[in-house]
Amino acid sequence: MIDTSITLRLEGIKKAYGIGTKAETEVLHGIDLILKRGEFCALIGPSGSGKSTLLNIIGLLDNATSGKLFLTGVATEGLDDKAITKLRATAIGFVFQFHNLLPAFTAIENVMLPLIAANGYPNDEMRQRAIELIDKVELTQWGEHLTNDLSGGQQQRTAIARALVMNPALVLADEPTGNLDTKSADTVFDLMRTVSKTSGTTFLIVTHDPRLAMRCDRIIELIDGRIDSDKPNITNMNKTQ
């Protein structure tokens, strides 16, 4: 039975590096986690707690040593590179801290790229879809600019537009506001909240910034490769709902 209200389910995810050598170290010690549709979660934890590793595993950029991962009900175990790439492209959107965009392309083209990659050729519908998203992130005038002409905040908004272009169930954001000033950070964050609410996309945001974490619906704290706490953020719930 596939439960459509569950976007992501992790069962006993473990990750070890240097397996079989003396330096074998386990960085994730069995993570169980369920993210529901439309949830807006923060993943916090000190450096070296395994946040990035966990995010890469969820984003299908890295393989777990053991454990099971279900993305929109699909088990990812045993899929080949092509199937993984396809699942990643359709189910997950990424927003990274740096280097999100291809500087050789305009904002609109950057948003189109995942669609073109999936289809093989560009077409006008893709362009329309990209323009809609660029409008949504309020970059209408900047759509035809090369991404190096955009400010940091504008680049992150473009990245969000690109993350949403395939209508993913889950958006993974790794320090999305890490290198932005407070004002731009707020704009980007608010945008993600709005998208999550209107489209039912699940967000998992890795952040060091307690101020941002406090504005999410759920805060998952990772310490030394284990989930230390996982609780709804009541203060925020009260404030926004």
Partner 1 sequence: MNSLLPFEWILATRFMREGFLQTLFIIAGVALGVAVIVFMSSLINGLQSSIIRRTLDYQAQIIVLPPEEVARSLRETETNQANSAILIQPRAQRLRSVDQWQKVRELALNIKGVTVVSPIVSGAGFVLRADANRAVAITGIEPETYLQLIALKAKIIAGKPELTTSDIVIGTELAKDLGVWLNDKIILQTASGASVTLIVCGIFDYGNKGQNERAVYVALRTAQSLLNLPGGATSVEINLNDPYQAQIVGEQIQTQTGLKVDSWITTNKELFTALYGQKITFFVIRLFVGLTAALGIASVLVVSVVQKSKEIGILRATGTTRIQILRIFLLQGALFGLIGSIFGSAASWGLLIAWRNLAKNPDGTPFFVLSFDPMYFVYAGLGAMLVGIISAVFPAQRAARLDPAVAIRG
Interface ranges with partner 1 (CB under 8 A):
52, 56, 59, 61-62, 81-82, 85-86, 88-90, 93-94, 96, 98-105, 109, 112-114, 116-124, 127, 162, 166
| Min CB(237)–partner 1 separation in Å | 32
Q: Which is nearer to partner 1, 56 or 187 (CB)?
A: 56
Q: How far apart are CA 87 and CA 4, in angstroms?
A: 16
| Min CB(76)–partner 1 separation in Å | 15
Q: Which is nearer to partner 1, 119 or 182 (CB)?
A: 119
Q: How far apart are CA 157 and CA 195, in angstroms?
A: 12
Q: Which is nearer to partner 1, 141 or 148 (CB)?
A: 148
Question: What does the DSSP assignment read for 179-234?
Answer: TS-HHHHHHHHHHHHHHHHHH--EEEEE-S-HHHHTTSSEEEEEETTEEEEEEE-H
| Min CB(212)–partner 1 separation in Å | 21
146: CB partners within 8 A, 6+ apart = 103, 104, 105, 106
Q: Which is nearer to partner 1, 94 or 142 (CB)?
A: 94
In angstroms, how far is CA 40 from the centroid of its own chain?
11
Q: Which is nearer to partner 1, 51 or 218 (CB)?
A: 51
| Min CB(91)–partner 1 separation in Å | 10
CA dihedral 200, 125, 158, 44 (to 10 degrees): 30
| Min CB(114)–partner 1 separation in Å | 4
55 conformational bin, left if phi > 0, alpha if psi -120 to 50, beta if neither: alpha
Q: Which is nearer to partner 1, 157 or 215 (CB)?
A: 157
Q: How far apart are CA 156 and CA 150, in angstroms?
A: 9
H or E stretch including 171? strand 170-174
Rounded (to 5) percent helix, strand, coil in the chain: 40, 25, 35
127 phi, psi to nearest 5 deg: -65, -45
Q: Which is nearer to partner 1, 74 or 237 (CB)?
A: 74
| Min CB(89)–partner 1 separation in Å | 3
| Min CB(102)–partner 1 separation in Å | 5
